[in-house]
Amino acid sequence: MSRKTLGYRACIGIFCATFLITFVLLKESRVPTFNVAYQGSIKNFLRKTSIDPSQEKQNHGNNERENSQQNPKVQIDEDKLPQVENCAPDSPRYVILLTYGRSGSSLTSDIISEHPDVFTYYEPLHNLAQSFSSRQKDYKEQNHKYLHLTDILEYHSAALSMIEKQMTCNYHRLSRFASLNLHAPSIKSTKELFHCVKSALTSKAEETCLMEAQERCEQKPLRFIKTIRLSVETMSAVLDLYPCSKLIYLVRDPRGSYHSKTRMFASHGQNVTWDAERFCSRLNKDVDAVIKLKEKYPDRIHLTRFETIAAHPIVSMKDIYEFIDLEFTQSIAKFVYQKTHSKTAGRGYSTDRTDSLDACYKWRKSISFENVKAFEHFCNEPFHKLGYLPANSLQDLRNLNKTLLSNADHFS
């Protein structure tokens, strides 16, 4: 056999071996895909989690649609979690406020963000959540069942990775998709980044915007994120991986938050039974998870009801400041008072209120008794855990001297 023929066969053999090795490596390292490049320790953690085999389906060729249909859940194996050390005194601190729409979180966030040591990212998952709305719609049409965002595996993975980047100020690894957040221009910490990225004409200019934002973020000892687009179960991964992270879980009477949503959004109020069943199921799952998480991390979880903040804003916010290790100064106390006793009441998303307590219970004066009963029916379990009482009659509902709030074992 000629030397030329031998060389030719050797080249073919090397090529085939290389192809086979590459194929095996790619197959073994599959992770949930998304249209943004997510990396980091959260992703490494997710690689160590397992998906419930009863819910996973072989989805070659039609992966995205079948993933959403099967509603895979991330199962966290605590034995596989990396060992974390205690939070060092000079380490950056991370605080996440997890809540629901129209639950007083904007006011609470404004007061936390007022401290000069805080860098705030407000609703960082807004754009990401919007990108998954079509998948939720497809699932509902095909299965006649609601699929929450946090039950979509790819959303879970992408959301955690994005949260991690913002917590740790890795802005150079954020995409334009994440930087141009709807809420960013109205937040002191992120408005400069938003306008800079929006006006950037080249990728180099955009990179400069991100690096400058990263420097501003790194100068602040406390990084604060407020979101309504995560579940408590999802947040447990952050607490497990970052010993300097803390969670504030804020709830409001679902009857009040729902009534506020019906006045703000056209999508709410058309089918109260559907809305109540969907929300109460999520709420009950979160409440159970956060009580369990509080037992695991008693000093890193703060549970509170907005009704308590509205009734005692100075005391309540001082407690929160102490929880996140910030000094509650006289200027902060004055800011709290001005926010909750403004001369003129704001509208819509404004957090200025002439009387925060009156604003908190204003829903009782106009909500329909039918809507109240729907939420009391579907939220029976979480109401008991959170200390919310039923209105036995329309007269009781309208009588603001009759409280619909009782003591709760875990919530202030």
What CATH number is attached to the domain comprising 247?
A: 3.40.50.300
Same domain, 204 and 241: no
Closest Cα to residue 200, out of 175, 164, 166?
175
Tokens of residue 251, six digits: 């709830």
Residue 141 pLDDT greater than 90, yes or no: no
State pLDDT tens for residues 154-170: 898 899 999 999 999 99
Backbone dihedral region for residue 118 (phi beyond 0: left; psi -120 to 50: alpha; all else: beta):
beta
Q: What is the largest CA-CA distance in the chain?
A: 102
Lowest mean pLDDT among 56-60, 112-116, 193-197, 281-285: 56-60
- Print burial letters for 50-72: b (CB count within 10 Å at least 16), e (below 16): eeeeeeeeeeeeeeeeebbbbbb
Residue 60 lies in a domain: no
State pLDDT tens for residues 358-386: 889 999 999 999 999 999 999 999 999 99
Give the residue with greater pLDDT, 40 vs 246. Answer: 246
DSSP characters over 219-259: T-SEEEEEESS--HHHHHHHHHH-TTEEEEEEE--HHHHHH
Residue 30 lies in a domain: no
Final residue in a domain of this structure, among 186, 201, 220: 220
Distance CA 325, CA 321 (A): 6
| Average pLDDT for the chain | 81
Same domain, 146 and 190: yes
Same domain, 305 and 408: yes
Final residue in a domain of this structure, among 188, 220, 252: 220
What is the per-residue pLDDT for 315? 97
Same domain, 175 and 312: no
Cα-based angle 349, 351, 353 (whole degrees, multiple of 5): 120
Same domain, 184 and 203: yes
Cβ pair 245, 96 in contact under 8 A:
yes
| Tokens 């009580």 found at | 291
Residue 54 lies in a domain: no
Looking at the chain, the whole-number percentage of residues with pLDDT higher than 90 is 58
Same domain, 269 and 404: yes
Distance CA 115, CA 329 (A): 9
Residue 283 lies in a domain: yes
What is the per-residue pLDDT for 243? 96
| Tokens 């997710």 found at | 46
Please give the average per-residue pLDDT across 329-338, as a whole number.
Answer: 96
State pLDDT tens for residues 239-281: 999 999 999 999 999 999 999 999 887 667 689 999 999 999 9
What is the per-residue pLDDT for 344? 58
- Looking at the structure of the chain, the number of domains it has is 2
Residue 322 lies in a domain: yes
Distance CA 407, CA 137 (A): 39
Please give the average per-residue pLDDT across 184-204, as a whole number.
Answer: 93
What is the per-residue pLDDT for 84? 54
| Tokens 């954020």 found at | 174
Same domain, 255 and 214: no
Residue 289 lies in a domain: yes
What is the per-residue pLDDT for 43? 52
Residue 148 lies in a domain: yes
Same domain, 98 and 211: no
Same domain, 157 and 254: no
Cβ pair 85, 243 in contact under 8 A:
yes
Residue 409 lies in a domain: yes
Domain range spanning residue 396?
A: 89-116+225-327+357-412
Please give the average per-residue pLDDT across 8-14, as a whole number.
Answer: 51
Q: What is the pTM of this model?
A: 0.79
Cβ pair 409, 290 in contact under 8 A:
no
Same domain, 272 and 139: no
Confidence of residue 9 (pLDDT cuts 50, 70, 90): low
What is the per-residue pLDDT for 19? 46
Final residue in a domain of this structure, among 191, 220, 249: 220
| Tokens 């001369």 found at | 343
State pLDDT tens for residues 266-321: 667 689 999 999 999 999 999 999 999 999 999 999 999 999 999 999 999 999 99
Same domain, 283 and 390: yes
Distance CA 259, CA 346 (A): 17
End-to-end, the C-alpha distance of the chain in Å comes to: 86
Same domain, 111 and 155: no
Lowest mean pLDDT among 146-150, 202-206, 390-394: 146-150
